[in-house]
Structure formats: C-alpha cells, structure tokens
Structure 1
Amino acid sequence: MHRLSFTVALALASFATYAQTWSVDKAHSKLGFSVTHLALSEVDGNFKTFDAKITATKPDLSDAIFELTADVNSINTENDRRDTHLKGPDFFDAAKYPTLTFKSKSFQKVDGKKYKMTGDLTMHGVTKPVTLDVTMNGPTVMENQRGKQEKAGFKIAGTLKRSDFGVGSSNTAVVGDEVEVKAAGEFAKQDNAVSEVKK
C-alpha cells in the first residue's frame, strides 16, 4: 500500500513539473459558426464572450487538452432581431442554458500541422461527441516590448447538427440543420502553469 501511494505521488509530482497551461488571447481569437438560410444563403455568427485554455505535458502540444466555455447570450449575427430569436426558446433557450462548453478527449496528428480533435460538446443541456479538424501553428517564441513569450495558433473547423442538441425544431426548418464551426485561437503559455497545476 505504501509503495502504491508513493508511485501515485511520484506520478502527480511529475505531472505538476511538466504540465503547461496556455491561455487564449481573446483579442486575436474568434469562436464562430455558419448556417444556411432557406437553403439559399449563409448566415455567419459568433460568440463575443468566451474563454478557453489548453493543458499539455509535451512541449510540442501534441497531447493538448482543449477546454472552452462560451456565453450563449453573447451570440452575434449582426442582426438584433435574429439574435434575440436565437437566444429564445425556439433555439438556444439561453435563459435556461446560458453556456455551452467543450472539452477535448483526443488530439491526434494527421499530417504536418493537421490534427483531428474529438471531444464532448455540451449545448442546450445536451452533451454529444464531436470531431473537429485542427491546424496548429507553432509553438514558437515571440518577442515584443514585454519580453519573450511562447505562443501557438490554432484554426479549427467542423460540422455538427443542431438537431442533435435539440436546438431548433421542425418549426424552424428555414434554418439549415448542419452548422459549420469556424474558430481561430491564439494561445500564450503561462509562466505560472506549474504552480497552478500543483494547487
């Protein structure tokens, strides 16, 4: 028993030593989507308020775990009337389900900078697995007036069905069922990553 406890403690200490936390730079990131209207045109939108982070133990981020939270009430399609409708019971029902979340379970390299990411998306009170295509740029050390900092950029794309999450119904058939996810993120490695993990 004592040997097992020592092994577990050693493993946790090793993780605390090498784990990295990367925070999203919101000024250079976007969480967006696109959906068809009347099968004729596309409507683009985004969530203005969101947060995301990456946790990894490998310097090349090849074992990255992505976590994201978005405020549904911040949905923006450049049309106030439409945004109000999307927040209402017919679609997101933001009063009842004010946030959507995503946490990755797998991040696998396909080729070069290309990766496949699978994780759980929770939206409208429903959790479903989704698979996304990811292009990673970096990590690389950038230098500015505040000194050097390690950064990485990600372009994320994928398709999901709103009906899988109970968003909309047959009464909202004017809106396509397939939603194209379009996200881009710039992340910066945090100097206090080790101390945060230890806590």
Structure 2
Amino acid sequence: MKKATIIAALLISSAATFAQTWTVDKAHSRLGFNVTHLSVAELGGTFNSIDAKITSSKPDFTDAVVELTADINSINTDNEQRDNHLKGADFFDAEKFPTLTFKSTSFKKVSDKKYKVSGNLTLKGVTKPVTLDVVLGGTTTNPMSKKPVVGFKITGTIKRSDFGVAAGMPAAMLSDEVKLNAGTEFVKE
C-alpha cells in the first residue's frame, strides 16, 4: 500500500511538472457578443478589458483548464449612450457586479481541431454551466518574442434571462439568446 501511495504521488507530481501556462495576448484577442434588436437587426459589442489563462500538460490541450475574466465597465458597442445603459442596473449592473468570469470544467476534443469547452459562467452574480465550441487555429512561434503562441476561435450561445440580464426586456425588443464569439491568442509562459 505504501509503495502504491509513493507511485501515485510521483505520477501526480510529474504531471504538475509538465503543466504549461498560456496567458492571453490582449493585443491579439477579442471577446465579443451579438444580440438581435427588434427581431430584425443583429448588433454586437466587445469587452475591451479581458484577462485569461490556459493551463495544460498535454500538447493537444485535452486536459486544459481555462480561466477568463472580463471587466463589465469595458463594454463597447460603439455607442456611448448604449454602453452606459448596458453598464447600468437594467442590464449588467456593473457597479454591483464589475466582472464576468468563466472557469472550465472540461476541454474535450471532438475532432481534429474542434473541441467543446464546458464550465461555469458567472454574470451579474449568477453562475450557470455553459458549453462552448472551440476551434484550434494552430500553434506557432512568434517571430518577435520567440515564444510559442496558440490561437483559438470560441463560439456559443447563452440566454440573458438565465443570468438576470435585462429581465424586464421582452424578447421581441432584445433577443434572449446572446451569441458569444471570441478570437484569442495565448502566449506560453
């Protein structure tokens, strides 16, 4: 029994040794969303201030843990009046809930470069499980920094009503479904 415990401890410690951390390259990453307004026009925006990291010990990222934080006050829809309304209590209530967070619970490969990432999204103080589609863009070495870089495209749909966002807004005015889309680059630390 003692021998099995020692072997298990060595395996766990060696897995931790090979874990690699990748940090989001903020200059080359974007976290966006789209909604339908009045059932006829799709409008979108971004969160301009994000922080994210991926920890993985496997080169194909199948054991990846993804952590993301976005500053609600950095919301940008190219309309200052709308941005201020979105930051207010009717929508995100940025004063009480200044961040959006996501932490993955699984990162599963479904085909060559396609993955499903599941995790907990916290928005406006509400945490719900979500699953998003991920496409691995590839890996390369940045010629300037000489560091390894990996790129991902992430898409998915959530319901704003699940998170209490714009609870009084009918879907005919603003779609309940919110499409998420992100293009990200991560740099290996």
Match of 2:176 in 1: 177
Q: Normalising to structure 1: TM-score of the pair?
A: 0.88
CA spacing shift, 1:123–1:4, aligned 2, 3 Å: farther
Partner of 2:129: 129
- For structure 2, the 5+ residue unaligned runs are none
What do you get for the CA RMSD once the two structures are aligned?
1.7
Identical aligned residues as a percent: 59
TM-score (norm 2): 0.92
Residues 24 and 143 of structure 1, relative CA distance in 2, 3 Å threshold = closer
Q: Give, as a single letter, the amino acid of the residue that structure 2 aligns with 1:189.
A: K
Paired residues of 2:16 and 2:57 also in contact (CA < 8 A)? no
Match status 1:108 vs 2:108: yes
Q: 2-side partners of 1:45 and 1:145: how far apart?
A: 30
1:155 pairs with 2:140: no
Aligned length: 188
Tell me how far apart the structure 2 counterparts of residues 143 and 184 of structure 1 sit (CA, whole Å). Answer: 17
Q: CA offsets per residue over residues 122-171 of structure 1, 9 Å max, x none? A: 0000000111110002233x15244x321110000000000000001234
User: Partner letter of residue 88 of structure 1?
Assistant: G
* Residue identity matched to 2:36: T
- The aligned residue for residue 93 of structure 1 is 93
Distance 1:58 1:164, change over 3 A: same
Contact 1:48 1:74 in 2 (8 A): yes
Mapped pair 1:189 → 2:188: yes
Contact kept, 8 Å, 1:60 with 1:139, in 2: the verdict is no
